[in-house]
Structure 1
Amino acid sequence: MLAKIKKQPPGRLIAIGFALVILIGALLLMLPVSVRNDAKVHFIDALFTSTSAVCVTGLISIDVADHFTFFGQVVVAALIQIGGLGVTSIGVGLILAARKNIGIKGRILVKEALNIDGIKGIVRLVKAVLLMTFCFELAGVILSFIVFVQDYPVLKALWISIFHSIAAFNNSGFDILGGLRNLIPYQSNVLLNLTTCGLIIFGGLGFLVILDILKKRSFRKLTLHSKVVLSTTLALLLGGTLLLKATENVTWMGAFFQSVSARTAGFSTYPIGEFTNAGLFTLIVLMFIGASPGSTGGGIKTSTFFVLVQHVRSLFTKRHIGAFRRSIPFEVFSKACTVTLLSMLLVCGGTFLLCVLEPEYSFVQLMFEEVSAFGTVGLSTGITPDLGVASKLVLIFTMFAGRVGAFTLLTLWIDRPLPNIRYTEESITIG
């Protein structure tokens, strides 16, 4: 059995690994030691919470602080960390800690998980990723502790800070403040808002981009990928902030925070359910685009959105697809179109099912929930806890597909060589 599993394609192994971690997490959350004495947790809610944690989403059907003990909260934090770094990266880290060598198969798995081109320098990359994660999260713990220690006893404030830092850097909107409040009590706290935004942004840039920045230290010297990610991220943050400020009764800091958080983090400092349709639509667009490749976030990714925009621009300017004095291969544009189309089909299918299963909610509410699950964001208008079992299963599948990737999920069971036969081309009318 083990030999058969080892022969499976890398993408299939990664998906199986995520599924196993989700199942183990759900079983751990069902243990009596994980559940508070005054709370009751059904398996569907444990599975939903585990999936949301491993897929670094943050959607919750039950409040983590109100239903789980310290042990249960540790399990959730561990699942978030595993989901953010990736099952394979954690596995390689453990192998390195045991001072054993990493085989070719393991290197290929990490290559697929981190979405990089080759296996050269994989071990050094994993070490850098683990060290980088520890440094960012430690900084987040220290800065968050300064805020939380003012409202909680020292040990509890420390644990809240650790949990919050892990959730923020891994772009997962979980909190353990209780009462389904998220970060609303701290909407005017500048330090916590900026700390959370910083962790979300760096976690969403992607490890390769951060390493490139640390190495080159000049925008002009960065790789094309890093330039695309940074410029697109900045444009989305500014555009989202301006649109949210224009459509909602929020402060500039609140608009900026929600613009950052909608890029797959899921924290909120304002009740999302009270937003206007224009504000919700703005968040839906940001959630669908998501973070960047090789990061802890989801969505179709910033680079995909950038390539599509550049293609439209090329149609008007009569130039080849490219940016920053570099051309972008047509294969990249083709993949971007495929990823976007599959993602739209997944979101549309999920939204349709939710509309059938939950007719009492508005279309915007259900679509918001579905896109939030796909983008592994975690923002909600407040309807998640009241959804039926079937609707929760739809969101569970959507979160899993969003984390693994719609393109990867579709090709998991297709293992056939490219055909040698090509038919004669014939044009069709478009538009």
Structure 2
Amino acid sequence: MSDLRRIRLNAVQTLVLGFACLIFLGGVLLSLPIASRDGQWLPFLDALFTAASASCVTGLVLYDTWTQFTLFGQAVILMLIQVGGLGFMTVSILFALLMRRRIGLHQRAVLMDTVGALQVGGVVRLTRRALLVTAACEGVGALVLMAWFCPRYGLARGIWMGLFHAVSAFCNAGFDLLGTGSSLTSIAGAVVPNVVLMALIVCGGLGFLVWDDVLTKGLHPRRWRLHSKIVITATAVLLVGGTAAFYFLERDGAFAGVPEGQKVLMAAFQSVTPRTAGFNTVDLMALSESATLLTMMLMFVGAGSGSTGGGIKVNTFAVLVLETLSQIRRKEDVNVFRRRLDEETIHRAHASVTMYTMACLVGCLVLCLQGIALEDALYEAISAIGTVGLTRGVTPVLPELSKAVILLLMFAGRVGSMSVAMAVTRDHPAPRVRNVPEKILIG
């Protein structure tokens, strides 16, 4: 007992363990007969997979959410999406604030990783704003979606669908209640839900630090943090470029036979959703190989740090691009927006992408060993670790081992591959004496 009391988890370990406990609890609840429409126990691995997909805001599903789960099961999934999207620590701080309890230093340190704060000071204020932004975006989105769903599905179901899809979109989860088993393809031409869902996905994917800048400093980019400038610029470039690329690649392919305006809408949605949302309005198997590769590239990049999305993060991607350009130009410093990037930031970006890529490739290898085609295995692995949720029809037929691997990839993608690695390794103090440096050949 005394040994257990000596165990003190650091902030990263607390974050990893908290998400693991959330997934386990969700798995237990979803396995109960009350959670399934047939009144039968759901296999625990399948329930755990669904709970992990919801908690890690991924959207990969073994069963159609509407046809498999009761209102209780759907409510559990919605709770897991909301807590997973915000971060379990953010939700616990909400209750602490409501009960006027003091928030300790350790809790603030965990919050830094949860909401993407740059320093401990002001992290509680940032968390309050994150909760307010979430409530405002999800609330407005839910009301608009309810107004669209209610005339088509009835009052009760329309209200529930509006709320569910608003939370799922803002948290970049990708779960839907249309009951078609093919995501949002049945409403591909509906402007209102498509635009609202895209707006919610982008808002959730920007990150709470960006929203803090917008709320405190207004629409004055010069006053924003460097982080916000990079995230918004990179996001805009990827969204506009992705929309144009999908339109020209698929206007005579997967988008053929629909009005020109709907083609643009579908191209825009297909550009937004790989940024870790997981919805799709077009049959993914109908996409050309070039569009499929573009989708995987966007899934790999993902959303912004400290957001509800996954991927290597747009800001990390931007750092690598800027650092590469500096090397090409033989410049020692990496400069952007009249600021010089910190060397530690660049090192962390390289380490993060390396861990992310290695985990993705190992997962792909296991899926290939289980008999899944290389293209589908790579697509599924990137979708899982990027917490995207798009699939080429592989998820429902995954063998047991592959389910476990995808589950672990989703977990690593949401918590962060670096965070998972750091959670199981010991802290090493900086050495007093450093070794003599020596160069090796690179390139």
* TM-score, with structure 2 as normaliser: 0.94
The question of 1:404 aligning with 2:377 is answered no
Shift of 1:39: 6.4
Q: 1:131 to 1:6 in 2, by over 3 A?
A: farther
Q: What SS does structure 2 have at the residue aligned with 1:420?
A: coil
Query: Which one-letter code corresponds to 1:390 in the other structure?
Result: L
Per-residue displacement from partner, 1:2-25 (whole Å, max 9, x unpaired)?
Answer: 964871111011100000000000
Corresponding residue number in structure 1 for 2:259: none
Corresponding residue number in structure 2 for 1:186: 187
Corresponding residue number in structure 2 for 1:345: 358
Shifted more, 230-239 versus 115-124: the winner is 115-124
| 1:54–1:79 Cα contact (<8 Å) kept | yes
**Of 389, 408, 412, which residue of structure 2 is paired with 1:378?**
389
Could you tell me how far apart the structure 2 residues matched to 1:45 and 1:277 are? Answer: 31
| 1:171–1:204 Cα contact (<8 Å) kept | yes
Corresponding residue number in structure 2 for 1:210: 211
Could you tell me how far apart the structure 2 residues matched to 1:333 and 1:159 are? Answer: 44
Query: Which one-letter code corresponds to 1:411 in the other structure?
Result: M
Question: What is the aligned length?
Answer: 429
The question of 1:232 aligning with 2:234 is answered yes
Corresponding residue number in structure 1 for 2:24: 23
Per-residue displacement from partner, 1:257-298 (whole Å, max 9, x unpaired)?
Answer: 011010000000111122121111101110011000110001
Could you tell me how far apart the structure 2 residues matched to 1:125 and 1:230 are? Answer: 18
Q: 1:205 to 1:5 in 2, by over 3 A?
A: farther
Map 1:162-173; keep pairs closer than 5 Å: 162-173=163-174
Shift of 1:38: 6.4
| 2:59–2:387 Cα contact (<8 Å) kept | yes
**Of 279, 285, 289, which residue of structure 2 is paired with 1:267?**
279
- Structure 2 residue runs without a partner (length 5+): 256-262
Per-residue displacement from partner, 1:231-250 (whole Å, max 9, x unpaired)?
Answer: 00011111211221222232
Corresponding residue number in structure 1 for 2:68: 67
Corresponding residue number in structure 2 for 1:244: 246
Query: Which one-letter code corresponds to 2:191 in the other structure?
Result: V
Shift of 1:117: 2.3
Q: 1:299 to 1:4 in 2, by over 3 A?
A: farther
Percent identity reads 37
Corresponding residue number in structure 2 for 1:326: 339
| 2:59–2:174 Cα contact (<8 Å) kept | yes
Could you tell me how far apart the structure 1 residues matched to 2:227 and 2:273 are? Answer: 22
Could you tell me how far apart the structure 1 residues matched to 2:328 and 2:53 are? Answer: 42
Query: Which one-letter code corresponds to 1:365 in the other structure?
Result: D
Corresponding residue number in structure 1 for 2:221: 219
Corresponding residue number in structure 1 for 2:376: 365
| 1:291–1:302 Cα contact (<8 Å) kept | yes
Q: What SS does structure 1 have at the residue aligned with 2:174?
A: coil
Shift of 1:414: 1.8
Shift of 1:350: 0.5
Q: 1:5 to 1:219 in 2, by over 3 A?
A: farther
Could you tell me how far apart the structure 2 residues matched to 1:417 and 1:211 are? Answer: 33
Could you tell me how far apart the structure 1 residues matched to 2:293 and 2:363 are? Answer: 17
Shift of 1:44: 1.5
Corresponding residue number in structure 1 for 2:258: none
| 2:31–2:41 Cα contact (<8 Å) kept | no
Shift of 1:362: 2.4
Could you tell me how far apart the structure 2 residues matched to 1:26 and 1:4 are? Answer: 28
Could you tell me how far apart the structure 2 residues matched to 1:346 and 1:194 are? Answer: 34
Query: Which one-letter code corresponds to 1:300 in the other structure?
Result: I
Per-residue displacement from partner, 1:319-367 (whole Å, max 9, x unpaired)?
Answer: 321211111112111111111111110111100110001x2x4211111
Corresponding residue number in structure 1 for 2:294: 282
Could you tell me how far apart the structure 2 residues matched to 1:394 and 1:133 are? Answer: 31
The question of 1:157 aligning with 2:161 is answered no
**Of 402, 418, 427, which residue of structure 1 is paired with 2:430?**
418
Could you tell me how far apart the structure 2 residues matched to 1:395 and 1:244 are? Answer: 27
Q: What SS does structure 2 have at the residue aligned with 1:350?
A: helix
